[in-house]
């Protein structure tokens, strides 16, 4: 087996939310080892400027590249929205984002070609989902809405409180009035709000989880590049790293991953080798 196939998949996020992507990748590719970096010292990315997000994403990717991963997944929607072209230019390894798979899945699910997208302020400001949806289908209509209150609510564990449902109703009602039949959950944290979102949008609106779409995209792409692990069946390991104190990670990770995870190691960014400029 080529030695590249044995290498880990690197996944990074602004913090802990990216474990929703790790969860889907681990489910879809159970043999693969995963190295996860949560930039918990600098979370959130969703309120930061594009230049800052690009710089952080380069530093995160450099850390994973130095661990000799075979591919990098940008689990963070905000970083995917702003940094992907720079990462493709600067790093000589396959880099995957969550936006394109989510956009493609939304177009497969919609029947009336009216698609809603929710995400952080920075993701929505980037227009990345609309742009990719329109490249794939110029006639589709996209209705996007920034939902900045949702990340802190999920991190507090308020996923099914009346207050959260009321905020969600506020955010989602204008999209529903536009007649969307598909809603892209364009943020690492939103899969945890699925039951609450479902209770507001009803059963006729398809919910697209970009974490799930990304894992499927990754499986197909790595297989085409002959980079998938092949060999005796086994359970791949998940090795977490964080840039801040490990306490909060342990508290939150169970909910995002849906399983126990080993204790993360703390690291300091940037590692030597990044100058951080786009
Ligand atoms: N991971 C971010 C995203 O998916 C959400 C948290 C943040 O703002 O950093 O956009």
Atom of ligand 1 nearest to the CA of 186: 4
- The pLDDT confidence band at residue 277, using thresholds 50, 70 and 90, is very low
Dihedral angle computed from the Cα positions of residues 206, 208, 213 and 214, in that order, rounded to the nearest 10 degrees: 170
- The pLDDT confidence band at residue 278, using thresholds 50, 70 and 90, is very low
Catalytic residue check, 58: no
Does the CB atom of residue 186 touch ligand 1 within 6 A? no
pLDDT at 274: 56
Tens digit of pLDDT for each residue in 32-69? 999 999 999 999 999 999 999 999 999 999 999 999 99
Does the CB atom of residue 210 touch ligand 1 within 6 A? no
Atom of ligand 1 nearest to the CA of 188: 4
DSSP string across 47-82: TS-HHHHHHHHHHHHHHHHHTT-SEEEE--HHHHHH
Distance 18 CA to ligand 1 centre (A): 8
Does the CB atom of residue 126 touch ligand 1 within 6 A? no
User: CB within 8 A of 210, min separation 6: which ones?
Assistant: 77, 98, 99, 101, 102, 105, 184, 185, 186
Please check the confidence at residue 1 and state whether its pLDDT lies above 60: no
pLDDT at 255: 86
DSSP string across the chain: --HHHHSPEEEEESSSTTHHHHHHHHHH-TT--EEEEE-TTT---TTS-HHHHHHHHHHHHHHHHHTT-SEEEE--HHHHHHHHHHHHHH-SS-EE-SHHHHHHHHHHH-SSSEEEEEE-HHHHHHTHHHHHHHHH-TT-EEEEEE-TTHHHHHHTT-TT-HHHHHHHHHHHHHHHHTT-SEEEEESTTGGGGHHHHHHHH-TTSEEEEHHHHHHHHHHHHHHHTT-S--SS-----EEEEESS-SHHHHHHHHHHHSS--PPPEE--SSPTT-----
pTM for the model stands at 0.95
pLDDT at 71: 98
Catalytic residue check, 214: no
CA-proximal residue: ligand 1, atom 7 (nearest): 44
Task: Give the Cα-Cα-Cα angle 124, 129, 132 (nearest 5 degrees).
Answer: 150
Tens digit of pLDDT for each residue in 89-142? 999 999 999 999 999 999 999 999 999 999 999 999 999 999 999 999 999 999
Distance 233 CA to ligand 1 centre (A): 33
């Amino acid at each position: 087996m080529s030695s590249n196939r044995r290498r880990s998949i690197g996944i990074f996020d602004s913090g802990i939310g990216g474990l929703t992507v790790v969860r889907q990748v681990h489910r879809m590719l159970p043999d693969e080892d995963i190295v996860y970096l949560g930039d918990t010292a600098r979370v959130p990315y969703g309120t930061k400027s594009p230049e800052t997000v690009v710089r952080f994403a380069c530093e995160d990717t450099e850390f994973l590249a130095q661990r000799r991963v075979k591919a990098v997944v940008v689990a963070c929607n905000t970083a995917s929205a702003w940094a992907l072209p720079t990462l493709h230019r600067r790093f000589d390894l396959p880099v995957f984002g969550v936006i394109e798979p989510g956009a493609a899945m939304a177009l497969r699910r919609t029947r009336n070609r009216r698609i809603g997208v929710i995400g952080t302020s920075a993701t929505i400001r980037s227009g990345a989902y609309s742009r990719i949806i329109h490249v794939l289908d110029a006639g589709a209509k996209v209705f996007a809405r920034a939902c900045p209150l949702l990340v802190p609510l999920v991190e507090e564990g308020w996923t099914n409180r009346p207050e959260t449902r009321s905020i969600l109703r506020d955010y989602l009602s204008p999209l529903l009035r536009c007649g969307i039949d598909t809603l892209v959950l364009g943020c690492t944290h939103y899969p945890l709000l699925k039951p609450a979102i479902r209770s507001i949008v009803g059963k006729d609106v398809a919910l697209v989880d970009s974490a799930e779409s990304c894992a499927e995209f990754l499986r197909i792409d790595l297989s085409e590049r002959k980079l998938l692990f092949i060999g005796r069946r086994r359970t791949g390991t998940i090795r977490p790293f964080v840039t801040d104190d490990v306490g909060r990670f342990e508290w939150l990770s169970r909910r995002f991953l849906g399983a126990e995870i080993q204790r993360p190691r703390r690291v300091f960014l940037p590692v030597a080798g990044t100058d951080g400029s786009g």
